[in-house]
Each structure stands twice: as C-alpha cells, then as structure tokens.
Amino acid sequence: MPDSPHLPTRHTLGYLLLTLTAITGEYPSAQVGRLPGGAYYKENVVKQLKREKLLRMFYRDGLRGLRLTALAKSLLLQDQPEQFLSYLTGSTETNNLKSEVPRRLRLHRMAEVLTTMFNAGVLVFGPDKFPIFTDTPDLPIPLPAYYSSRELKELGPLAVKVRGSRASGLLLTEGAIFAVYNTGPSLMKWEYQAEMRLKALLQMELCNRRLSGQYRNAAICGLVFGNSLDRLCGLMSSTPEQHHNYFILDGNYDAFYFLTSDHRGEVLLRLLCDPGLRATLDTILCENLLPKRTGFPVEHDALEENGAPVLFAYTCDMPRIRHFDTALELHGLSGTLICFDHQESALRQVCGTRVQFQCIDFEKFERSVLHIKEETD
C-alpha cells in the first residue's frame, strides 16, 4: 500500500517553504534561493514537494510563483489550524488566488519582505508572536516581531482608516515601530493621506493604548525595501516627477530607512532591530573622532579633529542624509558621511560635492562584529 500523504517534519526547509507559501498565497520562486541551505539542497526540496503534490508552479505573464495544492492546504489546516485558518479558508486573498498581475505582484512583494524579516531573525509566524491587534499584553511582548498588513486588518473597523496605504506590514523593535514598505524593482506611488492615517493609527492604537507600557515614547519610523540601491536614488530625488516621494523626506516620520531585499539588507535589518549592536558599531566608528557638539548647525554623530561634522549613514536614513547634505550647503561646510562600501556609489549620487565618503568594509564587519560566515554549498 502506498504511504498516505503527509507533510514534511516541522522545522525543516520543506515545512518552512509550505508555511511561507500559505502565508503569502504565492511564493516567488526566485525567493527560494534566499532561504537557508545550499542551492542543490533547496532545489531538491522543491522537487520533492512537487512530487508529493504539495506545491505547484504557477507561471503566467512572466511571473513565476509557487502555490499550495488543495492537499497541502488540507494537511496544514489539520496540523496547525491556529496558524493557517485565516490564510487558507474563505475568500481571503491568500486562499482565493487571482491571476491578475497587480494582485500577484503585491503577493510577491509581501513575500520578499517576509523572507527578509525571517532571515534577519525577526518573529514572523503567528504562534511565535503576541496577537497585538486582538489582545492587550500584561507583559512586554517578544521582539523583534513583524505583523503583515493582513494581520493589521484584525483591528476590524479601525483598519478601514488605513485602506489605501501601501505598507506591507509593521515591524516592532526595542524602542521603535516601523511602517514597512517594498517598492520591489520599480518606484512606488505613495498615497500620502493614507500613509499619514497609518502613522496616526500606530500612535493611537499601539503607542497610547495596546502597548503603552512598552511603546509610549517610541519612535515611529518608516522602512522601505527595494531590489537594489538604484531605488534609493529615485526615492531621494527632488525632481517634479518624484513629488509623491516628499512624505519620505518631510519629517513626518522620526526616521525613514532604505534597505535592499537581499543578504546585505538582512544584515542591516539586524542592526536596526538591535540598538546594542548599533551602539557597538558606532563606538568603533567614533575611535579617533571627537564627540558630537550640542548646538552645532549640522546634524552629526561625531566631529573630525578639524571640526568637520561626521554622519553615520550605514542604515540609509534618507531624511537624515538629506538634512546633512542640505545643511553643509547652507553653512558652506564640508563633512564626512560614513557608510558601507556597497552603499557609496548610490549615496554619492544623492549628495552634493561638500560630502566626502568614508567606507566600512561590509564583509569585514560581518566577520568581526556579527561573526557571520558566507554560506557555501
């Protein structure tokens, strides 16, 4: 007798891939390469899941994505109903999949963010997180945690206020809440009013009510992902065609960061999630520099011996970089911007001639501070 259909064991790549596909509706096949493990192993896992009729490839209009079969949905619902019920039943967009390109691109962008969050050690799965939109915690919730825009809808009627927002979800870290966006390979058209309503909702519902013990004085920041650093140039452009980007730079958010949807972006996301790790890097960067000076007319993190301002820009906080560049021009000063080596080219394009660059070796930082070694097959 043939074996009855069954799922891969939990905590394996096979189960992870089925879970990500369930939560996103359609998981972009290109994202499989970003998951843990060697390329040959991952290829075999996908083949095995297809052979066992748990995954199928959906290819149309140049978009290639993995979808769950009816069998996989049934088995996942039996295995972890509390995790999958809201994703794999009814008319929800992750269960009742459409073939229109804009809808599929939205699912793919959500999947990219989810993959980055997972790889950076952020809590992304329901059972691991506190249900902040349906319950009020007595104790501090586990962090860092990512909640998708679908989970935000659990607020019920309140969620209608942020309809139209392009946010893919929220990231909660120690001391900060981030509205998270993903431009993907192209520039995004922002809905200014909807994004401001989202920020107001986060302030009211999370900082003042549900999580006031943990987030009453928290910073509310923006975080946007893109396929490459070329997107940074577009987002920071001040040309008339890019006027809809103004809300990124206009100071409405305490900070607005740009990260790439790749391994480097994952490493920088770890830095954003860990104030202690950032402090360690900042301490290293401050060696041989003078401390920052109160009342100095240019935003800065340290000073050169000659009094020139220095800005730490490795997290690509776009408004802060713009303020630094503009203030140097305004006051006729020169300054130094410190970033990772792979960020230099893009940042040179958005800064004026008064900005000089000093680069951190990214691979050396990984080895010496994060102790990450590059994975090989």
Give the C-alpha separation, 48 to 371, whole Å: 33
Provide the pLDDT for residue 1. 41
Q: Average pLDDT over the chain, rounded to whole?
A: 91
> Helix axis angle, 13-24 relative to 39-51, nearest 10°?
70
What's the angle, vertex CA 109, arms to CA 103 and CA 113, rounded to 5? 145
Q: How far apart are CA 58 and CA 51, in angstroms?
A: 15
At residue 160, the pLDDT reads 83
The token duo for 307 is 């009094």
Model confidence band, residue 249 (pLDDT cutoffs 50, 70, 90): confident
Assign 237 a pLDDT band (cuts: 50, 70, 90): confident
pLDDT tens digits along 4-49: 789 999 999 999 999 999 999 999 999 999 999 999 999 999 999 9
DSSP state of 309: E
The strand pairing partners of 224, in sequence order, are 181, 258
Taking alpha carbons only, the member of 41, 96, 33 closest to residue 263 is: 33
Task: Tell me the C-alpha distance between 38 and 176, whole Å.
Answer: 34
Contact 333, 308 (CB under 8 A): yes
Mean pLDDT across 134-163? 88
Domains of the chain: 1-98 (1.10.10.10), 100-273 (no CATH), 276-370 (3.40.1350)
Closest CA to 262 of 222, 232, 229: 229
The Cα-based distances of 25 to 15, 110, 151, 318, 359 in angstroms read 15, 10, 14, 32, 40
- Residue reference for tokens 């010496």: 368
Say how far apart CA 326 and CA 346 lie, in whole Å: 17
C-alpha distance across the termini of the chain, in Å? 37
Kindly report the number of other CB atoms within 10 A of residue 19's CB atom: 22
Distance CA 131, CA 371 (A): 33
Kindly indicate the confidence band of residue 240, based on its pLDDT and cuts at 50, 70 and 90.
very low
Give per-residue pLDDT as tens, 353-364.
999 999 999 999
With the C-alpha atoms ordered 319, 325, 328, 329, is the resulting torsion angle positive or negative?
Answer: negative
Instruction: Over range 274-290, report the average pLDDT.
Output: 95
pLDDT at 377: 40
Q: Cβ distance 204 to 173 under 8 Å?
A: no
pLDDT for 372? 59
Q: Beta strand pairing status for 309-312 and 335-340?
A: parallel
Taking the C-alpha atoms of residue 351 and residue 321, their distance in angstroms, rounded to an integer, is 8
Q: In the prediction, which pLDDT does 243 show?
A: 54
What is the number of H-type helices and E-type strands within the chain?
Answer: 15, 13
Q: Is the pLDDT of residue 248 over 90?
A: no
CA atoms within 13 A on the CB side of 92: 20
Contact by Cβ (8 Å): 313, 320: yes
- Residue 375's pLDDT is 47
Q: Which H or E run includes 63?
A: strand 63-68
Burial class of residue 216 (count of CB atoms within 10 Å of its CB; 0-12, 13-18, 19+): exposed
Cβ-contact 28, 106 below 8 angstroms: no
User: How many residues make up the chain in this entry?
Assistant: 377
Contact at 8 Å (CB) between 283 and 275? Answer: no
